[in-house]
A and B are shown apart, each in its own frame.
Chain A
Amino acid sequence: MTTSWTIFRKELADAVRDRRTWMIALFISLLSGPAVFLLVSNFVSGVEEKVAKREVVIEHAEYAPTLVNFLQRAGATIVPAPQGYRDQLRSGTLGNAVLVPPVDFEQKLERGEQVAVEAIFDDSHDKAQAVVRASIRLLAGFNRELGTQRLFARGVSPLVLAPLEVREVSLAPSQARGAQLLFIVPWAALMVAVFGALSVAIDVTAGERERGSLEPLLANPLSTGAQVLGKWGVVMAYSVVIVVLTMAGFMVSMRLVTSETLSALMQLQWREVAIFVALLLPFAALMAAINMLAATFGRTYKEAQTYVSYIAMGVQFSAVVPVFLTVRDAPWQWFVPAIAQLTVLMRALRGDPVGTSDLVIPGAVCAAAAVICLALQARLLKRETIVFARS
């Protein structure tokens, strides 16, 4: 233990003096996580504003005064379609549908014929989707109002057309919709745990080999296990700092969010932060161990970067899996690192209850895997092919 502590102190002093390592850590934790957060919230509030404004874009509004009258009564503002609106729709600068009534709109309406009104939009722009839907809903409202009037005029109850009354009772908690969009927040937090201390993990392993300090170090009467433990401690300490900084960044960003809907949709209070930290720390412990193990095979810093990038790719891939799973919260998910963390984090953000086992099982799996990685690394350091390989 004394040996591990000595190595920990030395590696910490060494890492703290490496300005590049700090720059990367600060960049990842303070910038990327909250930056993603702010982008998402900006996106949501942008959509909200547009939907709230209830703008309806019409080409040749003068052809359809009845429709315009309805829309104005419904609280919508009529905006004439700009020149070249098709290009604007495609490029996303016009994030709405453009309604195009035909020149004989009123005449057909009067004769009781069906009138075709084109709604032109490009819904490949995510931001436009909600606004387009709102415009089309207004048209449906016009349909309903006029249809009902006509049925009344013929002495028929409008209920004839609606034999079924659909009452929607959503069981999703109030935050659920937000969490779908905010998958990105736990994902970013997870990536911070993967990448945050990567440079330290490589420096204490492949870096030691590259600068030729591994051979003299191993000539000391120390167990390789104690060495690995001390070095892992430093990588872990770095991860802890970065995870905490990232969560602080999230909390600060949350305060800056202007969108009330978003604040109401996404739960990120002290309870959620505690769940994030409880899930991310064991995961960071595993990432530290597995990255160190992979980097041990590298003879140079650069070579080690290649090896750890395989791991980073694997984690990034598996982190996306829960999004596409049709079965939510299947038991096996609790036993797969990255997937387990993401699943539980998303539950927390959705406002679903998170129990002790949701934290303990993923944590225990990570801890066990970390111990295995560290033990393997301690054995590797006894191999001549690792210490002296073609050096």
Chain B
Amino acid sequence: MIEVTHLAKSFIGRRGRAKTLVKAVTDVSFTALDGRITALLGPNGAGKTTTLRVLATLMRADQGTATVGGFDVTADPVAVRTELGVLSDARGLYTRLTARENINYYADLRRVPGGECASRLAMLAELLEMRDLLDRRTDGFSSGERMKVALARALIHDPRHLILDEPTNGLDVMSTRALRRLLRHLRDQGKCLLFSTHIMQEVEQLCDEIVIVAQGRTVAHGTAAELCAAAGTDNLEDAFVQLALEARARESGAAQPVEGHA
């Protein structure tokens, strides 16, 4: 289970020569349960990637708490990293190594025993349809091929929790389908899956729970049906637009009423 409570994170940015405080996340709270696929849905710049980076212990929150499998990200980062598999925004592979070597490198770093590693790799290659890729150097891989290798790399130690940052970015239909199949398979095994996206279709097809994030805040949390009911719309896209716009209006202090339809 992943729990996030009142998370806040800001950065020092630069506007010309002047330093400014950029608030990336102001108040994000949600719970992602085991055996569920939870989506962090939000427009660009909503604070999704920052939230995931805090969960991956790559960034420290200014305020609030976050736990992964019961371990606090600030107090016990090593335990959190052990629990997690991360498909980060940066998919960086080592282009002079083969796909198999890239994946085995992470298995070695996480001390996955050789036999277990081989059988898991075979299983992941089957599910992701990437057997032909394994012994090719990753130089020149398409974005779909890179995603598959990066995902296999993040899953090689069989983590109980998986966070994915915009996993379907730049993928074709076949790769997207392979990814969906794998994520459902993992959910059915009882794992906790959290992924960020701004693609509505992805969320509807795949997710059990949806957390809408806008302007650095959680604005809604529930199933697709619950969100539609809350917004008084009949489809998720309209519900999303309405809830996100309401958040923006609240943030800027505007008193204008928010339109119900896009």
Contacts and interface: CB of A to CB of B under 8 A. Distances in A.
The judgment on whether A and B are partners is yes
Interface of A: 2-3, 6-7, 10, 13-14, 17-18, 208, 211-216, 218-222, 384, 387-388, 391
A216 B78 contact: no
Interface stretch (B32-40, B92-100, B124-132, B215-223): B92-100
A221 B81 contact: yes
Contacts of A221: 78-79, 81-82, 110
Contacts of B106: 220
A212 B81 contact: no
Contacts of A215: 58, 88-90, 92
B210 to A, nearest CB: 25
Contacts of B91: 212, 216
Interface string B63-104: 000000000000000110110101011111111110001000
B111 A216 contact: no
Contacts of A214: 90, 92
Contacts of A7: 109
Contacts of A17: 96-97
Interface string B104-117: 01101111000000
28 contacts: A3-B109, A6-B105, A10-B97, A10-B108, A13-B97, A14-B97, A17-B96, A208-B92, A211-B93, A211-B94, A211-B95, A212-B91, A213-B94, A214-B92, A215-B89, A216-B86, A216-B91, A216-B150, A218-B58, A219-B58, A219-B86, A220-B106, A221-B78, A221-B110, A387-B58, A388-B58, A388-B59, A391-B90
B153 interface: yes
A219 B82 contact: no
B2 to A, nearest CB: 15
B92 A212 contact: yes
B90 A213 contact: yes
Nearest to B153: A216
Contact of B59 (A10, A208, A384): A384
B88 A18 contact: no
B109 A216 contact: no
A183 B231 CA distance: 81
Nearest to B93: A213
B247 interface: no
A13 B101 contact: yes
B96 A18 contact: yes
Nearest to A2: B111
Contacts of A2: 111
Given A14-B96, A213-B94, A219 B101 contact: no
Nearest to B59: A384
B60 interface: yes
B12 to A, nearest CB: 8
A219 B81 contact: yes
B110 A220 contact: yes
A222 B111 CA distance: 11
A10 B108 CA distance: 10
A391 B153 CA distance: 22
Interface string B49-62: 00001001111100
Nearest to B80: A221
Contact of B108 (A6, A216, A218, A387): A6
B97 A216 contact: no
Contacts of B92: 208, 211-216
B154 interface: yes
Contacts of B111: 2
B105 A384 contact: no
Interface string B195-239: 000000000000000000000000000000000000000000000
A279 B189 CA distance: 59
Given A3-B109, A211-B92, A216-B153, A384 B97 contact: no
Contacts of A13: 96-97, 101
Given A13-B96, A216-B86, A216-B88, 4 more contacts: A2-B111, A14-B94, A212-B91, A221-B110
Contacts of B88: 215-216, 219
A387 B150 CA distance: 19
Nearest to B78: A221
Contacts of B58: 215, 218-219, 384, 387-388
A388 B111 CA distance: 27
Contacts of A3: 109
A220 B81 contact: yes
Contacts of B57: 219
Candidate in B79, B84, B92 with the most chain A CB atoms within 10 angstroms: B92
A192 to B, nearest CB: 25
Nearest to A227: B109
A231 to B, nearest CB: 13
Contacts of A384: 58-60
A212 B92 CA distance: 4
B76 to A, nearest CB: 11
Nearest to B85: A219
Closest 10 CB pairs between A and B?
A213-B92, A212-B92, A212-B90, A221-B81, A17-B96, A219-B86, A6-B108, A215-B90, A211-B92, A221-B82
A244 B1 CA distance: 55
Contacts of A391: 90
Contacts of B95: 211
Nearest to B97: A14
Nearest to B57: A219
Contacts of B82: 221
Interface string B161-197: 0000000000000000000000000000000000000
Nearest to A16: B96
Contacts of A213: 90, 92-94
B80 to A, nearest CB: 8
Nearest to B94: A14
Nearest to A216: B88
B105 A10 contact: yes
A302 to B, nearest CB: 17
B24 to A, nearest CB: 11
